Amino acid sequence: MSQFVYVVAYLSIIVFFVAVVKKIKNYLDKPIHVRWELYPVAHEGGGRDQYGGSYLEDVGWWGKERDVSMIGELKVMIPEILLLKAVWEHNRPLWYATYPFHLGLYLIVGFIGTLLVTSVSGLIGLEHAFYMLPVSALTNLLGPAGFILCIAGALGLIYKRMTDPGLKNYSSPGHFFNLMLFIVTMGVATLTWLFVDPSFQLTRQFVSNLISFNIAPIDSSLFMVQVILGVLTLAYIPLTHMSHFFMKYFLYHDIRWGDEPNINTPKTDAKIGIVLNYPVSWSASHIAGHGKETWAEVATFNPAAEPEEGKE
Between residue 87 and residue 106, which ones bind other proteins under the rule CB under 8 A?
Answer: 87, 89-91, 94, 98
Task: Mark the segment that binds other proteins (CB under 8 A) among 60-68, 121-129, 195-203, 218-226.
Answer: 60-68
How many CA atoms, within 13 angstroms, populate the side-chain half-sphere of residue 222?
Answer: 15
Minimum CB separation of residue 101 from other proteins in Å reads 11
Considering the complex, state which of residue 55 and residue 193 has its C-beta at the smaller distance from other proteins.
Answer: 55
Backbone angles phi, psi at 231, to 5 degrees: -75, -35
Distance CA 136, CA 129 (A): 11
Per CB under 8 A, contacts with other proteins among 226-255 are 240-241, 243-244, 247-248, 250-252, 254-255
Residues ≥6 apart with Cβ < 8 Å to 11: 235
Our finding on whether 293 is near other proteins (CB under 8 A) is no
Cβ-Cβ contacts under 8 Å for 233 (sequence gap 6 or more) = 181, 182, 185
Nearer to other proteins, 60 or 217 (CB): 60
Which residues does 42 contact at the CB level (< 8 Å), separation at least 6?
49, 72, 73, 75, 76, 77, 257
182 vs 200 by CB, closer to other proteins: 182
> Closest approach of Cβ 33 to other proteins, in Å?
4
Instruction: Among 54, 121, 140, 220, indicate the residue that binds other proteins (CB under 8 A).
Output: 54
Quick note: the x/- pattern for other proteins over 11-40, rule CB under 8 A, is ----------------x--xxxxxxxxxxx
DSSP letter, residue 310: T
CB of 55 to other proteins, least distance (A): 8
Q: 37: how many CB neighbours lie within 10 A of its CB?
A: 13
Which residue lies nearer to other proteins by CB, 76 or 188?
76
The reply to whether 155 sits near other proteins by the rule CB under 8 A is no
124 binds other proteins (CB under 8 A): no
Does the footprint of other proteins cover residue 152 (CB under 8 A)? no
| SS3 state at 279 | strand
* Choices 50-58, 117-125, 137-145, 219-227 (CB under 8 A): range interacting with other proteins: 50-58
> In terms of CB distance, is 123 or 275 closer to other proteins?
275
Nearest alpha carbon to residue 101 among 51, 49, 55, 146: 146
Q: Is there binding between residue 170 and other proteins (CB under 8 A)?
A: yes
Q: Tell which one of 1, 59, 128, 267 touches other proteins (CB under 8 A).
A: 59
| 149 lies in the binding site for other proteins (CB under 8 A) | no
**Contact region with other proteins (CB under 8 A), list: 111-119, 124-132, 170-178, 212-220:** 170-178
Whichever of 163 and 302 has its CB closer to other proteins, that residue is 302
Residue 14: in which H helix or E strand, if any?
A: helix 2-28
Cα–Cα nearest to 66, from 46, 89, 91: 46
**284 lines the binding site for other proteins (CB under 8 A):** yes
Number of residues forming the site for other proteins (CB under 8 A): 92
> Closest by alpha carbon to 274, among 37, 30, 35, 36?
30
Type of residue at 67: D
Listing DSSP states for 216-266 in one string gives -----HHHHHHHHHHHHHHHHGGGSGGGHHHHHHHIIIIIIT-----SS-H
Closest approach, Cβ 183 to other proteins, in A, equals 17
Q: Does 79 bind other proteins (CB under 8 A)?
A: no
